[in-house]
Chain A
Amino acid sequence: MTKALLRATFLATACVSLGMLPAARADDLVPLKLDLPRPMFVGTPVPVKLPNLEAPRAGRRPDFMVPKGVVNLALNKKVTSSDMEPVLGDLTLITDGEKAGDEGNYVELGKGKQWVQIDLTKAYKLYAIVVWHFHSQARAYKSVAVQVSNDPDFATGVQTLFNSDDQNVLGFGAGQDPTYIETYEGRIIDAKGDSARYVRLYSAGNTTSEMNHYIEVEVYGLP
């Protein structure tokens, strides 16, 4: 008797609840209003001038291992670009061996997606590519990608060695490599021993401006 009564009560409650549920969804839900802290007001920001931002890493950069006898194959090699009339500097600065970050040592390419390409004159086995975009200021470059190929047009046989373009701005697919803050150490990119004649580096602006910069690119391989 008691069990029957309990069962009837449960069924009645369930029916009433189910009947009310749509009404509760429609009428009772309201956007959650939150009282979140407001920003504290500040004065005119002081222009920050860091001497040279160290990489956010404890200690020195781990050694990057390459075969004995590798040399910088890019030194004084011809550079072409999507922007053949740079805003500042000229393309020869990219392979002139000078890596100082001050004015006159970097080339500035136009806004948005741009690339530079180094012709190594013949195919080599490549082990590392090191790039310095700009390191007199703490900044990160957007959509950085590095590719190698034996095709000067990069239409065939293209190997992508680095891709931080997580938004797929360049159209090579969403990159998985991290965006990094530029430092005087440059960024070492593993070339994995691929054989190629041409090296192409992409970027699409940076965290400070929409322009693209290169101080130096070194390509290490066996001559």
Chain B
Amino acid sequence: MHTDEAVNASILGEMLEGRPYRYDPVDRHGPSLYYATYPVVRAFGAHSLGDLEAWELRLVPAVLGAGLLGALLLFLPAFPPPTLLASALWLGVGAPFVYYGRYWIHETLLVLLTFLLLGFSWRFSRTTRTGWAIAAGLAAGALLATKETSVLTLSCALGALVLTRLLCRRDARPPGTSIVPGVALGIAAAVLASALLFSSFGQNPGGIGDALAALAYATERAGGQGHEKPPLTYLGWLLAPNLRSRPFCGWTLAAFGLVGAWCAWQRRRDEPLPMFMALFAFITLAAYSAIPYKTPWLLLNALAPWALIAGTGLNRVGAVFAGRSRVVLTLALAAGVAGLLASETWRLCLVFPADPGNPLAYSPTSPDIRRLEARAESLVSERGALAPIVAVVGADIWPLPWYLRHCPNVGYWPELPRSPEATVVISDASQSERVSRALGPGWTSEIFGLRPEVLAVLFHRTAADHGAGKRGP
């Protein structure tokens, strides 16, 4: 479990234990993911953090990722079925989508809600039916309540819409209809949905104000906060070969996407949606590249709409062939792309998921943490005290709270406490020397990895000293 997943799980654990959710504008994301997951884990019988299993949590982004493929249908007929099928190759098999499609973080939900918002809005623009407008509004409200970057998503979409209108000069509305009532209803639905979510369904009205305050904090955060990277970082992650694989997803998206963008330009007066999607993807990538704060999962926001353009490009390349062989050769081309994508996905998602050489693994949790988990649990059980205590000391200890969730008495202290007596002490490496001195003789230490470069030291009493009544933390 990545640190972000572990933090999310702790928040959900508090909800399961009966503490009402309260939106925290400082360094936390919105409530949508927790509310989407809560009924799922309750259905599996979870009542606390200790009851949760990783696969139950990760089922949610996996289903949402599959939902992304279903959401493609909203773009029919502007993107015909062969194009949608080709796009589904990248969305369903591409390494970034598979990798983060199993991370229980907010990004997959954010991308799905973006697709729903765009799909419903496009359908509303063609029909002016208020049902589509309300659906789009609800998607926008949920989007806003998912993550602060949704504001950037909406801004990029607006920019792409203005540019599309300028470039295409085409209005798909039925003659004599107005979009004003629908837009008003959509905005009302968006405000209502986001207010309900941020206020914890009325339990925390202050959450609405906090959501507005979060924008200022998110703007400050965009400056980097340790995640600052140069503008071309995303292109590097996407296109540069890495230690573990050739970046087939990035290469094929770039190659077929360029063909698709050219097709979208050519067809812009007949059907503006592909042009909008290409512009939206490009503006999103440019905006995220311009912001110093960069993490690889943010790429999904640009790659998902670009996958539709790449799907267009793949079918256009297939159309070069004439006659009956066209279908066969297009299918062969798609199969070839799928094979390349699958080989990269296999290596990055299954063989080297937490390897420092994997560009998708951003501050991944080290597999060594499972050894720490097993060691702590075995020490606690073999010492046989009535209420053995595990004392975790230090600031950089995540995602330990997830891995120690089954230990009944775990406490987290920024500094080594004088009491209570602990059976096991786990310290972040920066404090280990001080902890070792404070514990005194009779304690054995073992080193474990939490994340690349982040080590933890586990202290336990040597067998001979166990029960000797020595002072603990």
Q: Does A22 contact B (CB under 8 A)?
A: no
Which of A62-70, A94-102, A136-144, A152-160 lies at the binding interface? A136-144
Which of A3-11, A36-44, A122-130, A191-199 lies at the binding interface? A36-44
Q: Does B162 contact A (CB under 8 A)?
A: no
- In contact, A205 and B397 (Cβ under 8 angstroms): no
Which of A13-21, A75-83, A206-214 lies at the binding interface? A206-214
Which of B10, B363, B449 is the one whose CB lies under 8 Å from A44? B363
Q: Does B80 contact A (CB under 8 A)?
A: no
- In contact, A209 and B367 (Cβ under 8 angstroms): yes
Q: What residues of B have a CB within 8 angstroms of the CB of A208 in the complex?
A: 356, 366, 368, 449, 451-453
Q: Does B355 contact A (CB under 8 A)?
A: yes
Which of B354, B367, B414, B446 is the one whose CB lies under 8 Å from A179? B446
Known: A34-B420, A210-B367. A41 touches B455 (CB 8 A): no
Which of B363, B366, B397 is the one whose CB lies under 8 Å from A46? B363
When chains A and B are docked, how far (Å) is the Cα of A74 from the Cα of B409?
A: 51
Q: Does B395 contact A (CB under 8 A)?
A: yes
Query: Chain A: which residue is nearest B400 at the CB level?
Result: A39
- In contact, A45 and B451 (Cβ under 8 angstroms): yes
When chains A and B are docked, how far (Å) is the Cα of A134 from the Cα of B68?
A: 41
Q: What residues of A have a CB within 8 angstroms of the CB of B354 in the complex?
A: 209
Q: What residues of A have a CB within 8 angstroms of the CB of B446 in the complex?
A: 166, 179
Known: A34-B420, A205-B367, A208-B449. A44 touches B4 (CB 8 A): yes
- Min C-beta distance of A50 to chain B, whole Å: 6
Q: Does B27 contact A (CB under 8 A)?
A: yes
Which of B37-45, B114-122, B386-394 lies at the binding interface? B386-394
Q: What residues of B have a CB within 8 angstroms of the CB of A48 in the complex?
A: 451-454
- In contact, A205 and B368 (Cβ under 8 angstroms): yes
- In contact, B455 and A140 (Cβ under 8 angstroms): yes
- Min C-beta distance of A219 to chain B, whole Å: 26
Q: What residues of A have a CB within 8 angstroms of the CB of B411 in the complex?
A: 34, 36-37
Q: What residues of A have a CB within 8 angstroms of the CB of B173 in the complex?
A: none
- In contact, B3 and A44 (Cβ under 8 angstroms): yes
When chains A and B are docked, how far (Å) is the Cα of A209 from the Cα of B448?
A: 11
Query: Chain B: which residue is nearest A35 at the CB level?
Result: B411
Q: Does A26 contact B (CB under 8 A)?
A: no
- Min C-beta distance of B215 to chain A, whole Å: 17
**Interface digits, B27-51 against A, CB 8 Å rule (1 contact, 0 not)?**
1100000000000000000000000
- Min C-beta distance of A148 to chain B, whole Å: 26
- In contact, A139 and B413 (Cβ under 8 angstroms): no
Q: What residues of B have a CB within 8 angstroms of the CB of A59 in the complex?
A: none
- In contact, A34 and B455 (Cβ under 8 angstroms): no
Q: Does A32 contact B (CB under 8 A)?
A: yes
- In contact, B455 and A207 (Cβ under 8 angstroms): yes
Q: How many residues does chain A have at the interface if contact means C-beta atoms less than 8 Å apart?
A: 38
Which of B11, B447, B451 is the one whose CB lies under 8 Å from A181? B447
Q: How would you classify the secondary structure of chain A's contact residues: helix, strand, loop or mixed?
A: loop
Q: Does B226 contact A (CB under 8 A)?
A: yes
Q: What residues of B have a CB within 8 angstroms of the CB of A138 in the complex?
A: 429, 453, 455
Query: Chain A: which residue is nearest B450 at the CB level?
Result: A207
**Interface digits, A136-179 against B, CB 8 Å rule (1 contact, 0 not)?**
01111010000000000000000000000010000000000001
Q: What residues of B have a CB within 8 angstroms of the CB of A56 in the complex?
A: 433
When chains A and B are docked, how far (Å) is the Cα of A210 from the Cα of B413?
A: 30
- In contact, B453 and A49 (Cβ under 8 angstroms): yes
- Min C-beta distance of A132 to chain B, whole Å: 17
Q: B373-418: which residues lie under 8 A (CB-CB) from chain A? A: 386-387, 389, 392, 395-398, 400-401, 408-414
Q: What residues of A have a CB within 8 angstroms of the CB of B454 in the complex?
A: 45, 48
In the complex, the number of residue pairs spanning A and B with C-beta atoms less than 8 Å apart equals 119
When chains A and B are docked, how far (Å) is the Cα of A32 from the Cα of B421?
A: 13
- In contact, A39 and B412 (Cβ under 8 angstroms): yes
Known: A46-B363, A181-B447. A38 touches B412 (CB 8 A): yes
- Min C-beta distance of A170 to chain B, whole Å: 15
When chains A and B are docked, how far (Å) is the Cα of A211 from the Cα of B368?
A: 11
Q: Does A84 contact B (CB under 8 A)?
A: no
- In contact, A39 and B398 (Cβ under 8 angstroms): yes
Q: Does B99 contact A (CB under 8 A)?
A: no
Q: What residues of A have a CB within 8 angstroms of the CB of B350 in the complex?
A: none
- Min C-beta distance of A58 to chain B, whole Å: 11
Q: Does B177 contact A (CB under 8 A)?
A: no
- Min C-beta distance of B420 to chain A, whole Å: 7
When chains A and B are docked, how far (Å) is the Cα of A151 from the Cα of B412?
A: 51
When chains A and B are docked, how far (Å) is the Cα of A210 from the Cα of B366?
A: 8
- Min C-beta distance of B367 to chain A, whole Å: 5
- In contact, B420 and A40 (Cβ under 8 angstroms): no
When chains A and B are docked, how far (Å) is the Cα of A33 from the Cα of B409?
A: 8
- In contact, B392 and A32 (Cβ under 8 angstroms): no
- In contact, B363 and A142 (Cβ under 8 angstroms): no
Q: Does B243 contact A (CB under 8 A)?
A: yes
- Min C-beta distance of A212 to chain B, whole Å: 13
- In contact, A44 and B295 (Cβ under 8 angstroms): yes
In this complex, the member of A46, A56, A88, A137 whose beta carbon has the largest number of chain B beta carbons within 10 angstroms is A46
Q: Does B346 contact A (CB under 8 A)?
A: no
Which of B225, B243, B356 is the one whose CB lies under 8 Å from A137? B356
Contacts from A to B (Cβ < 8 Å)? 29, 31-34, 36-50, 56, 88, 103, 137-140, 142, 166, 179, 181, 205-211
**Top 9 closest A-B pairs, CB basis?**
A207-B449, A36-B411, A46-B226, A32-B387, A48-B453, A39-B412, A45-B363, A43-B27, A39-B401
Could you give 29 example pairs across A and B, Cβ below 8 Å?
A31-B408, A33-B387, A34-B389, A36-B389, A36-B410, A39-B10, A41-B11, A42-B7, A43-B27, A44-B4, A44-B295, A45-B396, A46-B226, A47-B362, A47-B363, A47-B452, A48-B451, A48-B454, A49-B453, A50-B453, A88-B243, A103-B243, A138-B455, A139-B449, A140-B449, A206-B368, A208-B366, A209-B355, A209-B366
